[in-house]
Amino acid sequence: MTTNAIAVIVALVVAGNATATHANTPNKMMAGLSGLMDIFDSAKDYFQGDSGIEQILEDKLKIKASDLDYFADQTRLIESEGGETNTEGSSARGGYQFLTKDNIDLETGEVKLNKKGEPTLSSYNVALNRIEDMYEKNDTNAPEWIQEARENQNPLDLTDRQEKDLFLANLYNRDAGGETDKLLKKIADGDKDAMMKLYMKYHHTNEDDKITRKRASEFYYNN
């Protein structure tokens, strides 16, 4: 057993003891159990090793998926301080701030239509479709959590691993076989300019946003 694995187990034991010791009211008990479940999800992700999406990216791009961790972690900090905050007045939710209602007309409350007159999907649902397609195109069954996410419509219900998989799969499939391939390969080599390009163009989707560009540079270049 590795040192990291032992550390995870110790953290679970300590958290469990703390919950039992201090949860002397129902509200405190529920808060303690919620925190314990978050730790359990992180531990479960750790012991499962590379996810299906990471394995697909490794096969497609000939990279080590772990070399994308810095980019994914820093992006999560840029977007939501690591999942701790959500943009007030926005439908953005979760660590990577996926928009859940950007397909709704704010004035009418109706679903927006595309040029063909068809209902549009939220950015969150588009990302869920992309990750499901990515599994299917690589002859792999899509995990059940994707359908559950469609039903729940709340990125906050995802584990850290699921959010990260959704983030990476969505980026890869924005231009699979094209620019996003090249940028992800460069990112795996530590290219911070590529991180900025992929984030601003394909996740934030506004390369002219100077305020966000400045904030992103503070995380990608200064850490």
Give the pLDDT confidence of 84-99 residue by residue, as tens digits.
666 667 899 999 999 9
Q: Which domain holds residue 163?
A: 50-220
Beta-carbon-side half-sphere exposure of residue 179 (alpha carbons within 13 Å)? 10
Quick one: which of 71, 82, 70 has its CA closest to 42? 82
141, 205: one domain: yes
- The whole-number average pLDDT for the span 121-136 is 97
Same domain, 17 and 55: no
**Least confident range of 8-22, 58-72, 153-167:** 8-22
Q: How sure is the predictor about 7, in pLDDT bands with cuts at 50, 70 and 90?
A: very low
- Regarding whether 169 and 75 lie in a shared domain, the answer is yes
Distance of CA 139 to CAs 133, 176, 191, Å?
10, 17, 31
Confidence of residue 82 (pLDDT cuts 50, 70, 90): confident
187 shares a domain with 82: yes
Residues 138-165: what's their mean pLDDT? 96
Count structural domains, the chain: 2
The predicted model scores a pTM of: 0.77
